[in-house]
Amino acid sequence: MTENPLEIVAELILLLALILIAAKIGGEIFERYLHVPAVLGELFSGIIISPFALGGIRFFDRFGPLFHIPTELEVHGGILETVESTLPVEPQIFFVAQLAAVILLFEAGLETNRAQFLRWIRPASGVALGGVVVPFLLGFFGTIMFGFASLDSINDAVPALFVGAIMTATSVGITARVLADIRRLDSPEGVTVLAAAVIDDVLGIIILAVVVGIADEGTITASSILVIFAKAVGFWLGLTIIGSLLANRISRVVLWFKGAGAHIGIAIGLAFLAAGVAEIGFGLAMIIGSYSLGLALSATDLKHEIEGPMRQVNNFLMPMFFGVIGMQADFSAFGGDESEATLLTAIGFAVVLSLFGIVSKLGGAGLPALFVGFNRTGAWRVAVGMLPRGEVALIVAGIGLTSGVIGRDVFGVAIVMTIVTTVMAPVLLVPAFRGGSGLREDDEPEESESEPLAAEPEPTLPSGED
C-alpha cells in the first residue's frame, strides 16, 4: 500500500467502479430475466464479488485478490498489532455506502403521501402491530431453537433479539415499487400496506433501538427499556412533529435558494444533519433521522422540487449501497472451523427462518386486516404486500454485524430470509391483485365483480423503467 493519498483514492475508485458496474449488471439481469426487483440482483452481485467469494480469489500472480478484508493498526499492551477490521470494505467505501443508505431512506420518507398516510393510519396500525409482533417472536425463538442464542443470560439472548428485530422490517420501497407497477398504489389495500409499512418501520426502529441499547448495556431492567423506548419514541415523535410543524418553513427557506441545484443540495445536507444528530445525539440509527425528516417534508412544495433529482441521485448511489451490503454476507462462515453439523445447522436455520419470515408476516398482518374492513381477498393482498423485507432488514442486519452483536453466519441467514421474502412479494402480489374488491362491504355481495376497482385494467408487471 502506497502513502500517496491520491493513489489510495485511485485504488478505491477502481473497486467502487467494479461494485457499481457489477451491481447494475446484476440488477438488470434479475429484473429483466428473472422478473424480480433489481435490488436483489444488486445484492447478489455484492455477494459474488465479496472478499469472501470471487473477490477474495487471487486470479493472477501479479494482482492480489480484488478485495481484501482491511486491517487496522491497534496497540494492545504496548505492542502494535495488525487486526482484521469488522468491515469487509475499506472505511472510505463503507462511508459512501452509508451516505447512500441515508439518502435512500430520506427519499423513502419524502415519497410517503402524508395525507393518505394519516387517513389510513388507524386500520393500518392493527396490521402493522401484528406484522411486527409475530415476526419478532418467531425470529427470537427460532434463533434460540437453533442454538445461535440462549436464554441463559441477557448477553446470550441478544442475537435472538437482533434476529427478531430484523424479522419485523417491511420494505416501503419494494412494496411501493411493485404496487406502482401494477397501478394499485391508491387502492384501499395499497394505501393500507404503505401506511402499515411506515408504522412497521417506526416500530421496527424502536425495537432496534431497544435491542441495540440492551446490547450496549449488557443488562436489562424495566427502567432501562423504558428509557430507551422513551428516547426512541421521543426522538422520532419529536423530529416528526417539530419537522411537520416547521416543514413549510424549512421548505420556504430552502426554496428561497435560486442557484442551480441548490434545493437538492440543501435538502441532502439537512438529511445528513438529521442522520448525524440521530446517531450522535440519541444513539439511534442514522436512517431514522433522514427518514423522519423526509416524512416531515413529504407534504411541502420542496418535495415536488426535489423528488425527481433525488431519484437520479439514488439511481447512482443505491447500487453501491446494496452492492456493499451484499459484500458483507459471508456464506463461507457457515462452514467455518467448526464441524459439519454447524453448516447443516446454519442451512436449516436459513430454511426455517425464511419460512417463519413468510408465515409470520402473512398471519401477523393478514389476520388483523380481516377486522379492519377487508374480506379474505383484501386481507391476502395486504398480507402479501407486507412480505418484502428489502433494504430495511439489510440495514438493520448490517448494524448488527458492524456492531458485533451478530456474527457473519447469522448475518448470512438474515440475508437469505430477506432475499426469499423479497422475491416472493412481487411474484405473489401481481396475481393477488387480480379479481374483485378486497373490501368487506355489507351492502354488496362479497363475490361481486361489479364494484369500481374491478373496472381498472388487469394488472400486469411491466419490465422496469421508472
Per-residue contact track with a second copy, 363 to 402, x per CB under 8 A? Answer: ------------------------------------x--x
Query: Comparing C-alpha atoms, which of 7, 45, 5 is closest to residue 24?
Result: 45
Q: Which of residues 14-33 bind a second copy (CB under 8 A)?
A: 14, 16-18, 20-21, 23-24, 27-28, 31-32
Residues 93-112 that bind a second copy (CB under 8 A): 94-96, 98-99, 102
What is the number of residues in the chain? 466
- Cross-strand bridge partners of residue 374: 439
Contact 39, 320 (CB under 8 A): no
Instruction: Let me know if 52 is exposed, middle or buried by CB neighbors in 10 A (0-12, 13-18, 19+).
Output: buried
Cell numbers of 317, please?
A: 448511489
Q: Which is nearer to a second copy, 9 or 344 (CB)?
A: 9
Q: Which of residues 31-60 bind a second copy (CB under 8 A)?
A: 31-32, 38
Smaller CB separation from a second copy, 91 or 431: 91
Taking the CA atoms of 225, 227, 228 and 230 in sequence, report the sign of the dihedral they define.
Answer: positive
CB of 262 to a second copy, least distance (A): 5
Query: Which one, 129 or 262, has the nearer CB to a second copy?
Result: 262
Q: Considering beta carbons, is residue 67 or 120 the nearer one to a second copy?
A: 67
Of residues 404 through 463, those in contact with a second copy by CB under 8 A are 463
Q: Which is nearer to a second copy, 312 or 448 (CB)?
A: 312
Sign of CA dihedral 6, 10, 15, 17: positive
Q: CA 49, CA 414: separation in Å to the nearest integer?
A: 19
**CB closer to a second copy out of 274 and 428:** 274
Q: Which of 86, 50, 52 lies closest to 322, judged by CA?
A: 50
CB of 261 to a second copy, least distance (A): 2
Q: Please state, in angstroms and rounded to a whole number, the distance separating the CA atoms of residues 83 and 73.
A: 7
How far apart (Å, rounded) are the C-alpha atoms in residues 417 and 415?
5
Interaction residues for a second copy, span 262-301 (CB under 8 A): 262, 264-266, 268-270, 272-273, 275-280, 285-286
Binding mask 218-257 for a second copy (x = CB under 8 A): ---------------------------------------x
Site for a second copy (CB under 8 A): how many residues?
75
Q: Which of residues 298-317 bind a second copy (CB under 8 A)?
A: 308-309, 311-316
Q: Which is nearer to a second copy, 189 or 391 (CB)?
A: 391
The least distance separating a second copy from the CB of residue 227, rounded to whole angstroms, comes to 19
Q: For 220-259, b where at least 16 C-beta lie within 10 A, e where not — what string? A: beeeeeeebeebbeebbeebbeebbeebeebbeebbeeee
